Amino acid sequence: MAKYQGGKMSGKVGDVIHSNWNGREYVRKRPETVANPRTEAQQSHRNAFAEISRLSSAMKEGHKVGLHYKSVRDKANTFSVFKKINKDCYGPDGIDYQHVCISSGSVAITHIIAASVDAQGKVHVEFQGNSGPEYENDEFYLYVFCPDQHDGHFAPPVKRKVGMASAIIPPEWLGHTLHLYAFMKGKRGQTSNTIYVGQF
Protein backbone atom coordinates (compact mmCIF):
# COMPACT_ATOMS: atom_id res chain seq x y z
CA MET A 1 0.00 0.00 0.00
CA ALA A 2 1.36 3.42 -0.93
CA LYS A 3 1.71 6.37 1.44
CA TYR A 4 1.47 10.05 0.58
CA GLN A 5 3.55 12.27 2.84
CA GLY A 6 5.19 15.66 2.39
CA GLY A 7 3.93 15.91 -1.17
CA LYS A 8 5.61 12.64 -2.17
CA MET A 9 4.30 9.15 -2.64
CA SER A 10 6.04 5.94 -1.60
CA GLY A 11 4.94 2.33 -1.80
CA LYS A 12 2.99 0.13 -4.18
CA VAL A 13 0.00 1.17 -6.30
CA GLY A 14 -1.21 -1.68 -8.48
CA ASP A 15 1.83 -2.91 -10.40
CA VAL A 16 3.80 0.33 -9.92
CA ILE A 17 6.20 1.09 -7.06
CA HIS A 18 6.93 4.65 -5.92
CA SER A 19 10.12 5.43 -3.99
CA ASN A 20 12.18 8.43 -2.92
CA TRP A 21 15.94 8.79 -2.81
CA ASN A 22 18.01 11.92 -2.18
CA GLY A 23 14.87 14.04 -2.40
CA ARG A 24 13.85 12.72 -5.82
CA GLU A 25 10.83 10.56 -6.58
CA TYR A 26 11.24 7.39 -8.64
CA VAL A 27 8.61 5.13 -10.18
CA ARG A 28 9.21 1.60 -11.42
CA LYS A 29 7.12 -1.31 -12.58
CA ARG A 30 6.92 -4.24 -10.21
CA PRO A 31 8.53 -7.39 -11.67
CA GLU A 32 6.06 -10.05 -12.74
CA THR A 33 8.23 -12.86 -11.42
CA VAL A 34 11.17 -13.08 -9.05
CA ALA A 35 14.15 -15.00 -10.41
CA ASN A 36 14.77 -18.14 -8.39
CA PRO A 37 16.43 -20.62 -10.74
CA ARG A 38 17.44 -23.02 -7.91
CA THR A 39 20.75 -23.81 -9.52
CA GLU A 40 23.01 -26.39 -7.94
CA ALA A 41 25.30 -23.64 -6.67
CA GLN A 42 22.36 -21.74 -5.15
CA GLN A 43 21.01 -24.85 -3.47
CA SER A 44 24.44 -25.70 -2.11
CA HIS A 45 24.80 -22.19 -0.70
CA ARG A 46 21.34 -22.32 0.89
CA ASN A 47 22.03 -25.73 2.44
CA ALA A 48 25.33 -24.47 3.84
CA PHE A 49 23.67 -21.36 5.29
CA ALA A 50 20.88 -23.45 6.85
CA GLU A 51 23.36 -25.89 8.44
CA ILE A 52 25.58 -23.12 9.81
CA SER A 53 22.47 -21.35 11.16
CA ARG A 54 21.44 -24.53 13.00
CA LEU A 55 24.98 -24.92 14.33
CA SER A 56 24.92 -21.31 15.52
CA SER A 57 21.81 -22.08 17.58
CA ALA A 58 23.30 -25.29 18.96
CA MET A 59 26.60 -23.62 19.95
CA LYS A 60 25.07 -20.43 21.32
CA GLU A 61 26.40 -21.00 24.85
CA GLY A 62 29.92 -21.08 23.40
CA HIS A 63 29.85 -18.14 21.01
CA LYS A 64 27.88 -15.87 23.32
CA VAL A 65 31.02 -15.80 25.47
CA GLY A 66 33.73 -16.35 22.87
CA LEU A 67 32.42 -13.87 20.29
CA HIS A 68 30.87 -11.31 22.63
CA TYR A 69 33.75 -8.83 22.46
CA LYS A 70 33.97 -9.09 18.65
CA SER A 71 30.20 -8.76 18.24
CA VAL A 72 30.14 -5.53 20.27
CA ARG A 73 33.02 -4.15 18.19
CA ASP A 74 31.29 -5.23 14.95
CA LYS A 75 27.90 -3.90 16.14
CA ALA A 76 26.23 -7.25 15.51
CA ASN A 77 24.93 -10.12 17.60
CA THR A 78 27.06 -13.21 18.20
CA PHE A 79 24.75 -15.38 16.05
CA SER A 80 25.46 -13.21 13.00
CA VAL A 81 29.18 -13.07 13.71
CA PHE A 82 29.32 -16.86 14.18
CA LYS A 83 27.56 -17.48 10.85
CA LYS A 84 29.80 -15.03 9.03
CA ILE A 85 33.11 -16.47 10.22
CA ASN A 86 31.96 -20.09 9.87
CA LYS A 87 30.27 -19.84 6.47
CA ASP A 88 32.89 -22.07 4.85
CA CYS A 89 32.72 -24.81 7.50
CA TYR A 90 30.01 -26.77 5.69
CA GLY A 91 30.79 -28.94 2.69
CA PRO A 92 29.81 -32.19 0.96
CA ASP A 93 30.84 -34.17 4.04
CA GLY A 94 28.90 -32.00 6.48
CA ILE A 95 30.26 -29.69 9.17
CA ASP A 96 34.03 -29.38 9.39
CA TYR A 97 34.11 -29.25 13.20
CA GLN A 98 37.88 -28.92 13.33
CA HIS A 99 37.68 -25.45 11.79
CA VAL A 100 34.58 -24.13 13.57
CA CYS A 101 35.30 -20.89 15.45
CA ILE A 102 33.47 -20.07 18.66
CA SER A 103 35.85 -17.26 19.62
CA SER A 104 38.00 -14.69 17.89
CA GLY A 105 40.46 -12.14 19.17
CA SER A 106 44.00 -11.05 19.89
CA VAL A 107 44.56 -12.56 23.35
CA ALA A 108 47.49 -14.99 23.26
CA ILE A 109 46.40 -18.62 22.93
CA THR A 110 47.90 -21.49 24.90
CA HIS A 111 49.16 -24.86 23.70
CA ILE A 112 47.32 -28.07 24.51
CA ILE A 113 49.57 -30.69 26.10
CA ALA A 114 47.08 -33.56 26.54
CA ALA A 115 43.32 -34.19 26.45
CA SER A 116 41.13 -37.18 27.30
CA VAL A 117 37.58 -38.28 28.02
CA ASP A 118 37.22 -41.21 30.43
CA ALA A 119 34.50 -43.87 30.59
CA GLN A 120 32.72 -42.02 33.40
CA GLY A 121 32.22 -38.96 31.23
CA LYS A 122 34.95 -36.76 32.66
CA VAL A 123 36.90 -34.53 30.29
CA HIS A 124 40.46 -33.59 31.23
CA VAL A 125 42.61 -31.07 29.36
CA GLU A 126 46.16 -30.13 30.24
CA PHE A 127 47.52 -26.95 28.71
CA GLN A 128 50.60 -24.76 28.93
CA GLY A 129 50.14 -22.60 32.01
CA ASN A 130 52.03 -19.38 31.35
CA SER A 131 52.39 -17.47 34.60
CA GLY A 132 53.96 -14.16 33.52
CA PRO A 133 52.42 -10.87 34.75
CA GLU A 134 50.92 -10.18 31.32
CA TYR A 135 48.85 -13.37 31.65
CA GLU A 136 47.82 -13.20 35.30
CA ASN A 137 44.17 -12.30 34.59
CA ASP A 138 43.70 -14.67 31.63
CA GLU A 139 41.23 -17.52 31.98
CA PHE A 140 41.03 -20.78 30.05
CA TYR A 141 37.55 -21.64 28.77
CA LEU A 142 36.89 -25.25 27.74
CA TYR A 143 33.77 -25.88 25.66
CA VAL A 144 32.48 -29.40 24.96
CA PHE A 145 30.08 -29.90 22.04
CA CYS A 146 28.06 -33.02 21.18
CA PRO A 147 26.69 -32.90 17.59
CA ASP A 148 24.28 -35.80 18.16
CA GLN A 149 22.69 -34.00 21.10
CA HIS A 150 22.89 -30.66 19.29
CA ASP A 151 24.19 -29.09 22.48
CA GLY A 152 27.34 -27.98 24.24
CA HIS A 153 28.50 -26.59 27.56
CA PHE A 154 31.48 -25.04 29.32
CA ALA A 155 33.72 -26.46 31.99
CA PRO A 156 34.25 -24.02 34.86
CA PRO A 157 36.86 -21.50 33.62
CA VAL A 158 40.31 -21.64 35.23
CA LYS A 159 43.22 -19.22 35.37
CA ARG A 160 45.84 -19.66 32.66
CA LYS A 161 48.52 -20.43 35.26
CA VAL A 162 46.59 -23.48 36.55
CA GLY A 163 47.37 -25.46 33.40
CA MET A 164 44.47 -27.93 33.69
CA ALA A 165 40.69 -27.88 33.16
CA SER A 166 38.05 -30.58 33.68
CA ALA A 167 34.39 -31.04 32.89
CA ILE A 168 31.72 -33.66 33.53
CA ILE A 169 29.56 -34.37 30.50
CA PRO A 170 25.87 -35.30 30.77
CA PRO A 171 25.23 -39.08 30.94
CA GLU A 172 23.21 -38.99 27.69
CA TRP A 173 26.33 -37.81 25.85
CA LEU A 174 28.28 -40.96 26.69
CA GLY A 175 29.02 -43.02 23.60
CA HIS A 176 28.55 -40.05 21.28
CA THR A 177 31.21 -38.08 19.42
CA LEU A 178 32.44 -35.03 21.30
CA HIS A 179 34.35 -32.02 19.99
CA LEU A 180 36.43 -29.99 22.42
CA TYR A 181 37.16 -26.32 21.90
CA ALA A 182 38.96 -23.78 24.05
CA PHE A 183 39.90 -20.13 24.12
CA MET A 184 41.53 -17.64 26.45
CA LYS A 185 39.64 -14.72 27.93
CA GLY A 186 41.66 -11.73 29.08
CA LYS A 187 41.10 -8.27 30.42
CA ARG A 188 38.00 -6.30 29.41
CA GLY A 189 36.44 -9.50 28.07
CA GLN A 190 38.74 -9.83 25.08
CA THR A 191 39.27 -13.38 23.84
CA SER A 192 41.73 -15.41 21.82
CA ASN A 193 41.10 -17.25 18.60
CA THR A 194 39.54 -20.70 18.96
CA ILE A 195 41.73 -23.63 19.94
CA TYR A 196 40.44 -26.94 18.60
CA VAL A 197 41.40 -29.44 21.32
CA GLY A 198 40.19 -32.54 19.49
CA GLN A 199 37.50 -35.11 18.76
CA PHE A 200 36.70 -37.94 21.19
Q: What is the pLDDT of residues 11-53, one digit of tens each?
A: 777 777 878 777 778 788 777 766 676 777 677 767 878 999 9
d(CA 181, CA 193): 10
**Domains in the chain: boundaries:** 40-199
What's the DSSP call for residue 185? E
pLDDT band, very low/low/confident/very high, at 2 (cuts 50, 70, 90): low
The CATH number of the structural domain formed by 40-199 is 2.60.40.10
d(CA 46, CA 165): 38
pTM of the model: 0.78
Calculate the average pLDDT of the chain. Answer: 89
Q: How far is CA 63 from the centre of its chain?
A: 5
Listed in sequence order, the DSSP H helices in 24-159 are 40-58, 60-66, 68-74, 78-85
Report yes or no: 18 and 26 within 8 Å, Cβ to Cβ.
Answer: yes
pLDDT band, very low/low/confident/very high, at 166 (cuts 50, 70, 90): very high
Residue whose C-alpha is closest to residue 7's, from 22, 16, 20: 20
Rounded to an integer, the average pLDDT of 102-108 is 96
What's the DSSP call for residue 33? S
Question: Using N-to-C axis directions, what is the helix angle for 78-85 and 40-58, rounded to 10°?
Answer: 130
* Bridge partners, 196 (sequence order): 181
Residue whose C-alpha is closest to residue 196's, from 177, 179, 181: 181
Per-residue pLDDT of 47-101, as tens digits, reads 878 999 999 999 999 999 999 999 999 999 999 999 999 999 998 889 999 999 9
